[in-house]
Structure 1
């Protein structure tokens, strides 16, 4: 898959479901905009003073329930998360990159 097709959110892979995923996207930096409904206790500031989703020491988003691998604030998640289409191009690209990194470590 080339970079152009990897970012194509018009092509959704119906076999990719958040409920059966390792929540790779929940380790990405997520910027929180002023009009996002995200509760303040989930928001931190990065080194540039931008609001971002708070992450645990291991890099995972604090809103992620680690037992179910589901978002605990799904209805209040930032717009960036809402725009990250399940099975879409960005989702597939992040998952593919995570797999490549895992193989490189082995």
Structure 2
């Protein structure tokens, strides 16, 4: 498994994902049922996942680089496709 600061060559794999998407702003939808202690409201009124001081989503298990609430993760996270065009673009920027 790679660390969040190293860069894995090639395509992302579950066994070596850098979880770069877990640094994106996750805007919650009304159908998302995320525990309140993991969410916050922006001054603009958007309901979002909290991020830690390090910039990562607070639901990220940083030791395993996976989602700690995977089964109940937000709908936008469910639509995020590993190795899809958006994934590749944000990995390239990272």
Same fold (TM over 0.5): yes
Number of positions where the alignment pairs a residue of Structure 1 with one of Structure 2: 84
Aligned partner (choices 66, 80, 88) of residue 84 of structure 2: 88
Instruction: Note the C-alpha offset of 1:22.
Output: 1.3
Match of 1:64 in 2: 60
Larger helix proportion of the pair: 1
TM-score, normalised to structure 1's length?
A: 0.74
Larger relative contact order (Cα-Cα within 8 Å, sequence gap ≥ 6): 1
RMSD of aligned alpha carbons? 1.1
Gaps of 5+ in 1: 1-14, 99-106
Larger Rg, first or second structure (1 or 2): 1
Q: Which whole-Å CA distance do the structure 1 matches of 2:45 and 2:53 have between them?
A: 19
Moved over 3 A (4+): none
Match of 2:49 in 1: 53
Gaps of 5+ in 2: 1-10
